Amino acid sequence: MEYFADLAPLIKFINICDDTQISIPGMITGTVCQTSPMPILGWKRMLWCMIEGIYNIDNFLKNTGLYNNIKNINLISTRFDLFDIPESGFINLTHSHIKYWIIQQYYLVNNIIFLKPHEFHGVDNIFLGPINILLDFTQYLLYNLDTIRDDYANIPHQEFIFYRESIKHIDTANID
């Protein structure tokens, strides 16, 4: 929790997925797309762990009574090392910027919202949306990735698949 500094009091639950204990559907060899070095197994593990985390957070909220009759609770999905590595796409982003984004969007969300409304390396590193929509979309992506990836053989980064498919799968709203 120390990592999250001033946000720590707001965090109610953290899920850490052991990706060595999961059963990955479909292909597990090769890359996500021809022009990206990302192994398909690694990306499917990430998706599986996202699903597990969303599911466990949903259950935690239900079991602790934190839903309080709210129809849809929004979830922020982010890398734990978002600010530390250039590959995250957010190396110059501050906690203040994220807090402002959350405050502006949190209660208005009814779809997936990305912090930046365009494709870039790291677009899937922080987004928010209702738990039910995030769970539905990540399951869709995991279980259909073997066929979806054929449509994106020549994209430069696999993260673009996440962004593009979210737009195709649901009516996605974005902000900048």
Quote the number of domains for the chain: 1
* Identity of the residue numbered 5: A
**How many C-beta neighbours within 10 Å does residue 87 have?**
12
Q: What is the pLDDT along the chain (176 residues), one digit of tens a residue?
A: 676 777 778 777 777 888 888 899 999 999 998 888 899 999 999 999 999 999 998 888 888 877 765 656 888 888 766 666 666 666 677 778 888 888 888 777 788 888 887 888 888 888 899 888 999 999 999 999 999 999 998 888 898 999 999 988 875 444 44
CB-CB neighbours of 12 under 10 Å = 10
Examine residue 115 and state whether it is found in any structural domain, yes or no: yes
Checking DSSP bridges between strand 126-130 and strand 113-114, what pairing results, if any? antiparallel
One-letter amino acid at 107 equals Y
Residue 158 belongs to some domain of the structure: yes
How many Å apart are CA 94 and CA 111, to the nearest integer? 24
Size (the chain), residues: 176
164 inside domain: yes
pLDDT given for residue 81 in this prediction: 64
CA 117, chain centre distance (Å): 14
> Is 130 within a domain?
yes
Domain span at residue 127?
51-82+90-176
3-state secondary structure of 162: helix
**Given this model, what pLDDT does residue 137 score?**
94
pLDDT the model gives residue 175: 41
Q: What is the pLDDT of residue 123?
A: 82
Whole-number pLDDT of residue 176: 43
Report residue 58 as tokens. 């949903």
1 belongs to a structural domain = no
Confirm whether 18 is domain-assigned: no
33 domain-assigned: no
- In a domain, residue 21? The reply is no
